[in-house]
Amino acid sequence: MEETSSDGSSSSSKEETTETTVVTRPKHMLKPPKFDGITSFETFWAQFENCAEHNKWTRRQKLVYLRSSLDKDVANVLWDYGEEVPKSLSELTKVLKQRFGGKSFADKHRIEIRNRRRKPDETLQSLHSDIRGLAALAFPKMDYRTREVISCDYFLDAMGDPDAALKIRERHPEDLDSALRIALQLEVWLKDSVRLREPTKGEKNKTFGAKDEAKGEPKKTKEIAKPKADQDLKKEVEDQRKKIAELRGVVKKF
């Protein structure tokens, strides 16, 4: 039996009205990313939380979407930790952070960032992004400003160019982004100076000609080879002349 309040409205209709008022679904839903254990868990979790906030998920919905986001070997968490873990949002989140989160591997990331060096074809932007990610994982409890200073030093060391690193340090970059900006400027200027030092094609020819003249060597001219057909024709004409001469000698005898 439906309860009726003093104003004549039912309690169930009030709950529906309240629920509708509190939760307003967005027109465009964001699809949560997949997590396979290879990519960074922190990156996945930041994107997942963004989807949950935008889509206005309840805790129950958040749990359902989190379970469906686990991919490949990571999905084993849904059954190899017993029945309680996949049924609880807090427990499942705790297990994922402990097993795949960067905080559990801080020592590993500190060694990686210490030994990180720029690859032959790697861009400065890619190196900068990797150093920033490793720093966040290697020093999770460090305040942002201190971590920026340390990240900047690791970035300059990872460049593998002491001269360029010294020039960047002389400009006193405030943070990692500033160090990247200065490094990109120096890289462009270096490429431009190398281009200006290289002689053009016309200048190369002039340089080689001047060297030949300085040595007193005459300019080499290309001999134009006579076609083979002309040589064969000349030989045939000579043979015919010899035959005619022989025939004339025979005629004179008679």
Find the range with the poorest average confidence among 3-7, 94-98, 211-215, 243-247.
3-7
Hey, how many other C-beta atoms are within 10 angstroms of the C-beta on 134?
A: 22
Same-domain check for residues 154 and 186: yes
Last residue of one domain, picked from the residues 196, 222, 249: 196
pTM for the model stands at 0.49
**Which residue has better confidence, 136 or 200?**
136
Phi and psi (nearest 5°) for 98?
Answer: -70, -35
Q: How far is CA 84 from CA 60, 75, 91, in A?
A: 14, 15, 8
Last residue of one domain, picked from the residues 42, 69, 100: 100
Q: Is 90 domain-assigned?
A: yes
Same-domain check for residues 96 and 116: no
Helices 59-69 and 89-100: crossing angle, nearest 10°? 40
Same-domain check for residues 114 and 96: no
Q: What mean pLDDT value characterizes the chain?
A: 78
Q: Is 2 domain-assigned?
A: no
Looking at the predicted structure, is the pLDDT value of residue 204 above 60? no
Same-domain check for residues 37 and 61: yes
Beta bridge partners of 10: 4
Looking at the predicted structure, is the pLDDT value of residue 12 above 90? no
pLDDT > 90 fraction of the chain, expressed in percent and rounded: 35
Q: Is 3 domain-assigned?
A: no
User: What's the pLDDT tens digit per position in 112-168?
Assistant: 999 999 999 999 999 999 999 889 888 888 888 999 999 999 999 999 999 999 999
Q: How far is CA 33 from CA 30, 71, 121, 183, 238, in A?
A: 9, 10, 29, 33, 91
Q: How far is CA 131 from CA 115, 116, 159, 237, in A?
A: 11, 8, 11, 84
Q: Is 92 domain-assigned?
A: yes
Hey, how many other C-beta atoms are within 10 angstroms of the C-beta on 118?
A: 18
Same-domain check for residues 91 and 130: no
Find the range with the poorest average confidence among 44-53, 181-190, 242-251.
242-251
Contacts of 203 (CB under 8 A, 6+ apart): none
User: What's the pLDDT tens digit per position in 112-122?
Assistant: 999 999 999 99
168-190 burial, b at 16+ Cβ within 10 Å, e below that, comes to beeeebeebeebbbbbeebeeee
Same-domain check for residues 78 and 116: no
pLDDT for residue 211: 52
Question: What stretch of H or E contains 243?
Answer: helix 228-253
Looking at the predicted structure, is the pLDDT value of residue 176 above 70? yes
Q: State the residue range of the domain holding 58.
A: 24-100
pLDDT band for position 18 (50/70/90)? very low
Last residue of one domain, picked from the residues 100, 117, 147: 100
Q: Is 239 domain-assigned?
A: no
Residue range 208-229: mean pLDDT, rounded: 52
Amino acid at 76: N
Same-domain check for residues 121 and 94: no
Question: What stretch of H or E contains 36?
Answer: none
pLDDT for residue 14: 42
Residue range 57-78: mean pLDDT, rounded: 91
Which SS3 state, helix, strand or coil, does residue 10 take? Answer: strand
Q: Are 135 and 150 in contact (CB under 8 A)?
A: yes
Of the segments 26-30, 86-90, 215-219, 237-241, which one has the largest average pLDDT value?
86-90
Same-domain check for residues 94 and 116: no
pLDDT band for position 22 (50/70/90)? low
Same-domain check for residues 94 and 127: no
Same-domain check for residues 96 and 122: no
Q: Is 113 domain-assigned?
A: yes
Same-domain check for residues 94 and 128: no
Question: What stretch of H or E contains 21?
Answer: helix 11-22
pLDDT band for position 6 (50/70/90)? very low
Q: Is 209 domain-assigned?
A: no
Same-domain check for residues 109 and 94: no
Residue range 162-183: mean pLDDT, rounded: 92
Q: Is 94 domain-assigned?
A: yes
Helices 176-197 and 124-138: crossing angle, nearest 10°? 160
Beta bridge partners of 35: 70
The total of structural domains in the chain comes to: 2
Beta bridge partners of 74: none
Q: Are 49 and 93 in contact (CB under 8 A)?
A: no
